[in-house]
Amino acid sequence: SSSQASICAGSMALMAAGVPISSPVAGIAMGLVKKGDDYTILTDIQGMEDHLGDMDFKVAGTKKGICALQMDIKIDGITKEILQEALAQAKVGRAQIMEVMLGAIEKPREELSPYAPKIYQMRIEPDQIRDVIGTGGKTINEIIEKADDVKIDIEQDGRVIIYHHDMESIMKAVKQIEKITRRAHVGEIYDAKVVRLEKYGAFVELFEGTDGLLHVSKIAHERVNNPADVLKIGDIVKVKVTDIDEKGRVNVSRKALLPRPKKEQPAKKEEAETAKPQESQPNE
């Protein structure tokens, strides 16, 4: 039976490719020739036996048990005894086939075949789908081209599924998508680069495509009159995201990560020592 041979070959191919299947499956086709009360059950039937016989009964399973059954019969029905006998013969046949299969490959290979297709799934916000696709598909086509012609499917719920036989190519696409869709979140800490100075604060680049405002009041604990007194373009400063408004504008603080200055201890008032005149001792 070509269909049962496909089951056996498919199991071996999956193991050879490194797919971690729990157990290989072997299949066999059982036949029946019946005349009156006399019958003969055939094991591993061929085309002629299938065509002229009364039954084509396919049985597939692992060492532990049966996974699938499929039967075609050309007579009114079969008895319980015939079914039991057919299953018993099929079990013996499957065991012999399984032994041969395991002799060729005992278990799945530790590593996937370099030719096996690989799939990576990630998730983005639904409102970011348009950013990944770009105008007229320009952005996603650039991603595909730079990542060695990976295949990318984007679902409406934000699931992104990337296909390729080379995992490195998949990760190229993943990094590009992450770069496009990356967002800052309150509480995150960045080593940010100062890109612009204004009187009211400094603009710092958290990562490519996202800047944050470091207000002059958030630069240090002590008063800063002009950001340029403390910072210059190109400086790398550690900042914490403190707020993101409804328009997506990011506010950060450097002060929040600086140790608080110790409170100045009030100067101890030196007690003025009053010079007391020594009492003169009476002359004896």
CATH code: domain of residue 225:
2.40.50.140
CA-closest candidate to residue 174, choices 153, 184, 160:
160
pLDDT of 276 higher than 60:
no
Q: Are both 8 and 100 inside the same structural domain?
A: yes
The domain tally of the chain equals 3
Question: What are the pLDDT digits (tens) for 205-246?
Answer: 999 889 999 999 999 999 999 999 999 999 999 999 999 998
Q: What are phi and psi of 187, to 5 degrees?
A: 100, -15
pLDDT of 272 higher than 50:
no
Asked whether residue 57 is assigned to any structural domain, the reply reads yes
271 Cβ neighbours under 8 A, 6+ residues apart? none
Q: Are both 89 and 35 inside the same structural domain?
A: yes
- Of 181, 202, 234, the residue at which a domain comes to its end is 181
Q: Are both 56 and 140 inside the same structural domain?
A: no
Domain of 232 in residue numbering reads as 189-257
Contact status, residue 213 vs residue 184, Cβ threshold 8 Å: no
- Of 104, 130, 160, the residue at which a domain comes to its end is 104
Contact status, residue 37 vs residue 82, Cβ threshold 8 Å: no
| 215: β partners | 201
Q: Are both 23 and 88 inside the same structural domain?
A: yes
Q: Please state, in angstroms and as integers, the Cα–Cα distance from residue 63 to each residue in 29, 60, 76, 84, 98, following that order.
A: 17, 10, 32, 18, 8
Asked whether residue 280 is assigned to any structural domain, the reply reads no
Fill in the DSSP letter of residue 74. Answer: S
Q: Are both 7 and 99 inside the same structural domain?
A: yes
Q: Supply the CATH number for residue 127's domain.
A: 3.30.1370.10
Angle ∠(187,133,188) on CA atoms, nearest 5: 5
| 261: β partners | none
User: In the predicted model, what is the mean pLDDT of residues 237-265?
Assistant: 89
First to last CA, the chain: 140
Question: What are the pLDDT digits (tens) for 83-117?
Answer: 999 999 999 999 999 999 999 999 999 887 788 88
Q: Are both 174 and 207 inside the same structural domain?
A: no
Angle ∠(277,278,283) on CA atoms, nearest 5: 135
Cβ-based neighbour number of residue 84 at 10 Å: 10
- The pLDDT value given to residue 284: 42
Q: Supply the CATH number for residue 90's domain.
A: 3.30.230.70
Q: Are both 19 and 87 inside the same structural domain?
A: yes
Asked whether residue 279 is assigned to any structural domain, the reply reads no
Q: Are both 165 and 208 inside the same structural domain?
A: no
- The pLDDT value given to residue 209: 83
Give the separation between CA 148 and CA 125, rounded to whole angstroms.
25
Two tokens, residue 50: 């299938």
Q: Mean pLDDT in the chain?
A: 90
Question: What are the pLDDT digits (tens) for 23-74?
Answer: 999 999 999 999 998 999 999 998 888 889 999 999 999 999 999 999 999 9
- H or E element in which residue 84 lies: helix 80-104
Contact status, residue 205 vs residue 192, Cβ threshold 8 Å: yes
Please tell me the pTM assigned to this model.
0.54
Q: Are both 235 and 252 inside the same structural domain?
A: yes
Q: Are both 143 and 177 inside the same structural domain?
A: yes
Asked whether residue 265 is assigned to any structural domain, the reply reads no
Asked whether residue 275 is assigned to any structural domain, the reply reads no
CA-closest candidate to residue 180, choices 216, 142, 212:
142
Q: Are both 16 and 85 inside the same structural domain?
A: yes
Q: Are both 141 and 100 inside the same structural domain?
A: no
Would the CA dihedral through 244, 249, 254, 260 be positive or negative? negative
Asked whether residue 109 is assigned to any structural domain, the reply reads no
Asked whether residue 263 is assigned to any structural domain, the reply reads no
Question: What are the pLDDT digits (tens) for 161-175?
Answer: 999 999 999 999 999
- H or E element in which residue 31 lies: strand 26-35
26, with CB counted inside 10 A (0-12, 13-18, 19+), is: buried
Asked whether residue 268 is assigned to any structural domain, the reply reads no
Contact status, residue 240 vs residue 256, Cβ threshold 8 Å: yes
